Homo-oligomer: A and B are copies of this chain.
Amino acid sequence: MRLISYRAGDRHGVGAMVDDERFVALHRLFPDLPPSLKEILEQGALSVKRIAEAIKGNEGDLRLDQVHLDPVIPQPHATWALALNFPMHIEETGLTTSKDYPQIFQRMPISIVGHREPLWCPNPAIAKTYDYEGELAVIIGKPGRHIPVGAALSHVAGYACYNEGSVREFQGHNRQFGLGKNFERSGSFGPWMLTADEFGDPKKHRVITRLNGVEKQNESFEKMLFSVEQVIHYLSAGYTLQPGDVIAMGTPGALRNPPGYVPGPNDSPRISGRTHMKPGDVVEVEITGLGVLGNPVIADPTEL
């Protein structure tokens, strides 16, 4: 099942997709369900199962183009993101990272938008290198502490695509990434949560990132240094994972430019195949068997 968080006018709701475009507005079928996916997950797996059974054969009552999509979980208690979790990305950045422990940081809700909503490219007076990062997002369903690696996937409610958009100058301002990973509307999360039963083993899937239709990243999740299970185990050593917590599993390296490629003005001078995003771009993060998260990029409209 594919679940979305959406906004129609002032009302925020949760929907269940019946095909790639149509969905059932859950408040119509279940007036007793809470209005947010995080709260539905807090009610436990039975609520999700009940939705899946009730929408069988339903043709849907709304289309995605009739609403605005919120991030899959609009206000998670915590969003963790991994740095340097793919060998090709470590190599291209020239950075070092521990082989024993994941490198993790956090993002705040205002930095993330939903599918088809505009991303904000920073004003060039603030920063000039704004980059996509296609990633797998893991959404926690069942709370847990001290979770063994072997039981970790049973705590996952589902998966989504994540564009962990990053502002490189700010990321490099000091030793912690801080604001560079948290610019307003710099990342996206969607289009939906595909439940874990239908997604299956993350290692059998790939992430593909496209900028204006051109493939920029394409890598198997088999290449991750730390698996979903290992990261859940690691985090649960420190706190009780909460329903709706999000883990963005890190981005792979760039697909290198072919020999003879002439770099454009937005291409990274340092990393072959990386192109910074600019207003007017369209960026897509696809995960095989899951879907495509797409966003237009516009200039940050706030006045300096």
Chain A residues with CB under 8 Å of chain B are 75, 77-78, 80, 83, 95-98, 100-106, 108-111, 122, 126, 145-146, 167, 170, 173-179, 182-184, 234-235, 237-240, 242, 302-304
Contacts and interface: CB of A to CB of B under 8 A. Distances in A.
B83 A176 contact: yes
B108 A238 contact: no
Nearest to A240: B184
Contact of A97 (B122, B175, B239): B175
A280 to B, nearest CB: 22
A174 B108 contact: no
Nearest to A184: B239
B103 A174 contact: yes
B240 A83 contact: no
Given A179-B234, A179-B238, A182-B238, 7 more contacts: A83-B176, A104-B174, A105-B176, A105-B177, A105-B178, A167-B238, A184-B240
Given A110-B239, A239-B110, A240-B184, A104 B302 contact: no
B304 A146 contact: yes
Contact of A104 (B100, B122, B179, B183): B179
A266 to B, nearest CB: 21
B110 A242 contact: yes
A98 B178 CA distance: 13
- Nearest 10 pairs between A and B by C-beta? A101-B173, A104-B178, A184-B239, A103-B174, A78-B108, A106-B106, A98-B174, A105-B176, A179-B238, A183-B238
A103 B172 CA distance: 10
Contacts of A178: 80, 102-106
A234 B174 CA distance: 13
A82 B101 CA distance: 23
Contacts of A239: 108, 110-111, 179, 182-184
Nearest to A180: B238
Nearest to A170: B238
A237 B105 contact: no
A235 B179 contact: yes
A237 B110 contact: no
A112 to B, nearest CB: 11
A171 to B, nearest CB: 11
A110 B174 contact: no
B179 A177 contact: no
A231 to B, nearest CB: 10
Contacts of A103: 174-176, 178
